């Protein structure tokens, strides 16, 4: 099974690109969504409570509260990641073995920071200009500009992320996404059939 990492900064267009790959019949593991399930595991819940206090309300994680804590302190973000990332990595590997598509994709904004890149054979980076990313985040999430900028700063820089790419998709609103995605899809399917 070929495993492909799909990454890009917050607001870069990863989710849109993932949706196109899914339309092409490729199984996509959304690490943010799956992490929510992992974070309801009792062992993980206990570890998060021990480190961050009661950020669960009636058994449901208060993601906004936890985000306020970890995005304001890089050490707390590292601590949270050390709790959650190993469980997500294990979940991804189990999930990928159950898929039948020619290759699978793990979508993660923090593919490199989490170490998930080590689970993949190829990496796609979705890139977009900073102001476009901020505008997308502000229109989509209930964040202030300052909060959006904090989250962007908490992630790896674009230049560094692009250095780890095997493929780059430019999602700047000017270039068409579909031709970029179908070219990459064809290339990845060739790897599988070699």
What digits encode the pLDDT tens for the residues 4-23?
Answer: 999 999 999 999 999 999 99
Q: What CA–CA distance (Å, rounded) separates 92 from 81? A: 15
Instruction: Kindly tell me if the per-residue pLDDT of 27 is higher than 60.
Output: yes
Name residue, tokens 């923090």.
110
Q: What is the pTM of this model?
A: 0.87
Ranges 69-73, 78-82, 105-109, 150-154: which has the least confidence: 150-154
Kindly state the average pLDDT of the residues 166-173. Answer: 97
Show binding-site residues: 11-16
pLDDT band per the 50, 70, 90 thresholds, residue 194: very low
Show binding-site residues for ATP: 11-16
Kindly state the average pLDDT of the residues 122-138. Answer: 95
80-114: pLDDT as tens digits: 999 999 999 999 999 999 999 999 999 999 999 99
Q: Mark out the alpha helices in the chain (DSSP H runs).
A: 14-23, 31-38, 42-52, 63-70, 74-97, 111-114, 130-140, 145-154, 158-163, 177-193
pLDDT of residue 40: 87
Kindly state the average pLDDT of the residues 116-134. Answer: 96
pLDDT of residue 186: 97
- Superfamily of domain 2-35+90-193 in CATH is P-loop containing nucleotide triphosphate hydrolases (3.40.50.300)
């Amino acid at each position: 099974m070929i495993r492909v990492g799909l990454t890009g900064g917050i607001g870069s267009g990863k989710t849109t690109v993932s949706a196109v790959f899914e339309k092409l019949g490729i199984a996509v593991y959304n690490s943010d969504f799956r992490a929510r399930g992992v974070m309801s595991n009792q062992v993980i819940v206990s570890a998060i409570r021990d480190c961050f206090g009661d950020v669960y309300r009636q058994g449901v994680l208060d993601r906004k509260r936890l985000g306020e804590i970890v995005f304001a302190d890089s050490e707390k973000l590292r601590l949270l990641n050390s709790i959650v990332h190993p469980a997500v990595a294990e979940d991804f590997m189990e999930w990928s073995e159950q898929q039948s598509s020619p290759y699978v994709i793990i979508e993660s904004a923090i593919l490199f920071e989490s170490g998930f890149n080590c689970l993949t054979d190829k990496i796609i980076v979705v890139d977009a200009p900073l102001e476009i990313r901020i505008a997308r985040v502000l229109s989509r999430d209930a964040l202030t500009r300052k909060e959006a900028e904090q989250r962007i700063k908490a992630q790896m820089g674009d230049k560094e992320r692009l250095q780890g790419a095997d493929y780059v998709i430019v999602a700047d609103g000017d270039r068409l996404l579909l031709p970029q995605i179908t070219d990459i899809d064809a290339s990845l399917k060739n790897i599988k059939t070699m």
